[in-house]
Amino acid sequence: MKLELIGITKRFGSLVANDSIDLVVEPGQVHSLLGENGAGKSTLMNVLYGLYDPTEGEILVDDKPVTFKGPGDAMAAGIGMVHQHFMLVPVFTVAENVALGNEATKAGGMLDLQKTRTRIRQISDQYGFDVDPDAVVEDLPVGVQQRVEIIKALVRDAEVLILDEPTAVLTPKETDELLGIMGQLKADGKSIVFISHKLREVKAVSDVITVIRRGKVVGTADPDASTTELASLMVGRSVSLTLDKKPATPGEVTFRVRDLTVQAANGQRVVDGLSFEVAQGEILAIAGVQGNGQTELTEAIMGLQDHVTGSITLGGEELLGRSVKDVIRAGVGFVPEDRSVDGLVGTFSVADNLVLNRYDDDPFARGLSMSPAVIEKNAEEKIAEYDIRTQSASAAAGTLSGGNQQKVVMAREFSRPLELFIASQPTRGVDVGSIEFLHRRIVAERDGGTPVIIVSTELDEVLELADRIAVLYRGRLMGIVPGTASRDVLGLMMAGMAGDEALAQVHDVQGGNL
């Protein structure tokens, strides 16, 4: 099936999310849409899938114009979509999820799940998915849930499959498996629209690459193009993807974590017996697939978690059991993973957000009253220093772009002398240009002699920043490896292999090849 988008424009009020975009997806082709977060990729796909009405433009299927009033129409036309956030009912079985909206029924509207199960087994066998139709979805690993999403599309005879950021939640091994599945689907004559901002994957799998920036198609690229070329096309100016940083000169070890265990409300150990230390002047990166205890670990250090046992010491002082305010006073700077929820108060001004953790201290407050003039002056300085793009210091922080919001958070945390700096997902949803800047600031902090902990699910970021890398898997530490460790080693560890074993295995494989 040939799919064509002609001049698609989508406006939300005054915001133009898509600006007359043209796109042709040929049968049996993997067509990648490359662009930064917020470039308009997902909006475009939601238009194609009938979730949004286009403001202008036309969709052609096999050269015939079509209009989709809802996802039902798009599916009927042979378009299937795997959403970034899975559209699966967690308490349903696989079969129920697949049947939903497309139910095989017996007399009287009674479900015929047997038919659905048979179809699932067929597809599962054909592509080697290994999915049990009677498993409850919430019990399945993320990678398998994604296959259920693909099955949902295939059961409906999809000819064009849209995969929206499918690798964001996968381990490197699962990512490889997914890329393999995409190859098989392509061999079967299906077309795939692959949406991503990860250059490596896009290069590995695409036949055609279309780059989108600020809602416009800025060009197509060949999969053989270098990552630097693709990145500069994506950002609109040349960027350096590699960070020049001097080797670390670790000093005294001041931050120690011993046997740290965090329990969730249901009693599960989400962080399980962690012990590690960080020296002054080094960056420890904590890698792992999302949801393996990283959030709980950083929040436990900050005093934001209940049911924490073990010990956390900074400069010999115990932090565990102290209030968040005490922890901040002890000199811990923290960039939370979700800046819009935990890092900023969106309706407060940029100036106020810049002093959120020091509003009651000299010089920002005197007695019971705050000093607006000082806060204002502080804001002007930080806005200049960090190049925060805002209309004014009094603009609401929520109106800023993701990258600029993150700069506000970073500027606030770096504006006092730190004994420890923790950043969770420091560059998630941040444009490539700002990433460069934020990374430099983090390395500068390290060079100033602060112990730094970076939590990131992006391997690229981990490898770029880390002096040492700790990998978390199901709340446990799989080991700590040097910052120069290979992707293969990290991939094995992220899937639950101990660090020394992973190193040995990768070493063996390479040895065998020689």
Which of 202, 478, 481, 485 touches another protein (CB under 8 A)? 478
CB closer to another protein out of 40 and 403 = 40
Helix (H) or strand (E) holding 130: none
Contact set for another protein, span 193-252 (CB under 8 A):
none
454: nearest Cα among 285, 243, 297:
285
Span from 79-87, 159-167, 227-235, 452-460 in contact with another protein (CB under 8 A): 79-87
Contact string (CB under 8 A) for another protein, positions 43-72, x = contact: ------x-xx-----------------xxx
Strands 468-473 and 283-287: parallel
Contact set for another protein, span 406-445 (CB under 8 A):
none
413 contacts: CB under 8 Å, gap ≥ 6: 333, 334, 335, 357, 421
CB 408, min distance to another protein, A: 28
Which of 17, 21, 45, 99 touches another protein (CB under 8 A)? 99
CB 5, min distance to another protein, A: 19
Is there a contact between 334 and 392 (Cβ–Cβ < 8 Å)? Answer: no
Which of 13, 14, 15, 108 touches another protein (CB under 8 A)? 108
Residue 92 and residue 96: Cα distance in Å, rounded?
6
Is there a contact between 124 and 131 (Cβ–Cβ < 8 Å)? Answer: yes
CB closer to another protein out of 30 and 162 = 162
Contact set for another protein, span 118-157 (CB under 8 A):
152
41: nearest Cα among 100, 84, 90, 95:
84
Cis preceding linkage at 141, omega within 30: no
Contact set for another protein, span 492-511 (CB under 8 A):
496-501
Query: What's the token pair of residue 366?
Result: 């005197």
Query: What's the token pair of residue 140?
Result: 């399945």
Which of 6, 24, 66, 100 touches another protein (CB under 8 A)? 100
CB closer to another protein out of 444 and 504 = 504
Span from 24-32, 105-113, 161-169, 363-371 in contact with another protein (CB under 8 A): 105-113
CB closer to another protein out of 155 and 241 = 155
Q: What is the 3-state secondary structure (H, E, C) of 132-174?
A: CCCCEHHHCCHHHHHHHHHHHHHHCCCCEEEEECCCCCCCHHH
Query: What's the token pair of residue 401?
Result: 């772009």
249: nearest Cα among 279, 277, 229, 276:
279
Secondary structure class of 279 (helix, strand, coil): strand
CB closer to another protein out of 336 and 499 = 499
Interaction between residue 291 and another protein (CB under 8 A):
no
CB closer to another protein out of 72 and 251 = 72
CB closer to another protein out of 72 and 372 = 72
Query: What's the token pair of residue 358?
Result: 């020091």
Which of 5, 88, 161, 319 touches another protein (CB under 8 A)? 88
Q: Rule CB under 8 A: which residues touch another protein?
A: 49, 51-52, 70-73, 75, 81, 83, 86-92, 96-97, 99-103, 105, 108-111, 152, 263, 266-269, 272, 474, 476, 478-479, 496-501
